[in-house]
Structure 1
Amino acid sequence: MVFRRRKPLSLWQKLRALVLPRGGWGRAFRYLRHRASRIPDAPHRIARGIACGVFASFTPLFGLHFFLAVFLAWVIRGNIIAALIGTAAGNPLTFPFIAMLSIDLGQTILGTRADGVPMSQVMTAFGQAGDEIYRNVRAIFTAEEMRWDRLERFFRGVFLPYLVGGTGPGLVAAIAAYWLSLPALNGYQRLRAARREARAQRLSAKAEATDEGNGK
């Protein structure tokens, strides 16, 4: 392939890139902001899309955040590309804080703190749930016995509290993202329009000067 690396990244380098992108998270976020500001759409639609992506990041639907963000953007007529960019609000740096806040709040609302899974075991619980789903699907085609005990504990102790508890903070973060990004997008698009107009005027003036010079 034309763009394949000459020296493939090692597993450690790939894992490191997930936690610390090349150039740092500051550069990564500046790039995402730049990409969002250059989307050819109305500012309010772009801001809606970003808000959808941010909200999706507060749900426990890992692996489905892109699809949820796109669906929400489609429902409220937001920009799809901006929704995908907005999911960057959920990343290896923020997910631990989002998970702690959401699960703790959800357990308080549901009154299931006694059935809760310790925060140190949350990611392990996600892995065990995925493994059990895989085994149950495989059991359909083999002689293995289906088991649901881990999934039941995962649903009551992690998934449901995460889903319930993440809704409120997710809405707050999404609304904040909308109102913070909207004026920035409006200002950037006005600036780009002014620059295009100034460039057009300079080209027009240069063309007129050239015509006058040729006329002489």
Structure 2
Amino acid sequence: MVFKRRDPRPPLRALAEFIYPRGGWTRAFHYIRHRIRRLPDTPERIARGIWIGVFTSFTPFYGLHFVIAFILARLMRANVIAALMGTLFGNPLTYVPIGVVALQTGHFLLGSEYSEAESRSFLELLSDATADLKNNLLALITGHEADWHGLIQFYDDVFFPYMVGGLIPGVIAATVCYVLTLPVIRAYQISRRNRIKAKFEAIKKKAEVQADAAGAPD
């Protein structure tokens, strides 16, 4: 598998490195950039995969970004690995600004308002929605009456505005990343091909020199 590690990490260590990667976010960024540039595909497909990954990070489907990016990459004939790596645009350093921009944009487009100072906090709404989901699943077995109030409020105040509001900034951020990465990947691939070609020509020339030396009379 592409992302399988040789040394499996304990869950707590994996969570800690997700929040702050070993070596820092700068090193992680350079590693991802290096891996993306070396992907064996056309620059257009790789950049299109990055577009998909960045756009997906602006959706409220946390925990499913990899799945959504994979499906979109297949549908749009983009590089799947680039799409999966592009979802890392959404990380612990960017989740908060992405969420704030998406929520504010969504409520503006929907003509509604949402302020944590006047309404319940995001964590409280999420907690109520999670409790409703758990209780309603148990209600299917126990026969108790289901209560969807918490889920409905979370959907109205957070999820739907987030989903609507994430479209515009998501498209903008993804397009900017596409425009910036396409020429970089194209130039890198051309440079890499030239380096490989020059290396083979040097090996060929060295072999010819050795052959001429071996065939020359004493």
Same fold by TM (over 0.5)? yes
Query: Aligned equivalents of 1:4 and 1:40: distance in 2?
Result: 26
Which residue does 1:64 correspond to in 2?
64
Query: Aligned equivalents of 1:81 and 1:14: distance in 2?
Result: 21
Q: Which amino acid aligns with 2:116?
A: P
Q: Which amino acid aligns with 2:180?
A: L
1:162 correspondence with 2:159: no
TM-aligned CA deviation for residue 123 of structure 1: 4.1
TM-score by length of 2: 0.88
| Kept in 2: contact 1:47–1:182 (CA 8 A) | yes
| Kept in 2: contact 1:117–1:158 (CA 8 A) | no
Structure 1 residue runs of 5 or longer lacking an equivalent are none
- Give the superposed CA RMSD: 2.1
Which residue does 1:201 correspond to in 2?
201
| Kept in 2: contact 1:117–1:157 (CA 8 A) | no
Percentage identity across paired residues of the two chains: 41
Deviates more, 1:69-78 or 1:178-187: 69-78
1:18 correspondence with 2:21: no
Which residue does 1:42 correspond to in 2?
42
1:96 correspondence with 2:96: yes
Query: Aligned equivalents of 2:109 and 2:176: distance in 1?
Result: 23
TM-aligned CA deviation for residue 117 of structure 1: 5.9
- 1:39 to 1:10, Cα distance in 2 relative to 1, 3 A: closer
TM-aligned CA deviation for residue 169 of structure 1: 0.1
Q: Which amino acid aligns with 1:57?
A: S
Query: Aligned equivalents of 2:74 and 2:97: distance in 1?
Result: 28
Which residue does 2:116 correspond to in 1?
118
| Kept in 2: contact 1:101–1:165 (CA 8 A) | yes
Q: Which amino acid aligns with 1:187?
A: A
Q: Deviation digits for residues 100-133 of structure 1, max 9, x if unmatched?
A: 01101111111221xx362893244334423432
SS state of the match for residue 121, structure 2? Answer: helix
Query: Aligned equivalents of 2:109 and 2:125: distance in 1?
Result: 21
SS state of the match for residue 44, structure 1? Answer: helix
TM-aligned CA deviation for residue 154 of structure 1: 0.2
| Kept in 2: contact 1:112–1:157 (CA 8 A) | no
Structure 2 residue runs of 5 or longer lacking an equivalent are none
SS state of the match for residue 22, structure 1? Answer: coil
- 1:124 to 1:29, Cα distance in 2 relative to 1, 3 A: farther
| Kept in 2: contact 1:99–1:162 (CA 8 A) | yes
TM-score by length of 1: 0.89
Query: Aligned equivalents of 1:189 and 1:106: distance in 2?
Result: 40
Q: Which amino acid aligns with 2:129?
A: A
**Residue-pair matches, total:** 210
Query: Aligned equivalents of 1:127 and 1:147: distance in 2?
Result: 14
1:130 correspondence with 2:137: no
Query: Aligned equivalents of 1:109 and 1:194: distance in 2?
Result: 50
Moved over 6 A (4+): none
SS state of the match for residue 133, structure 2? Answer: helix
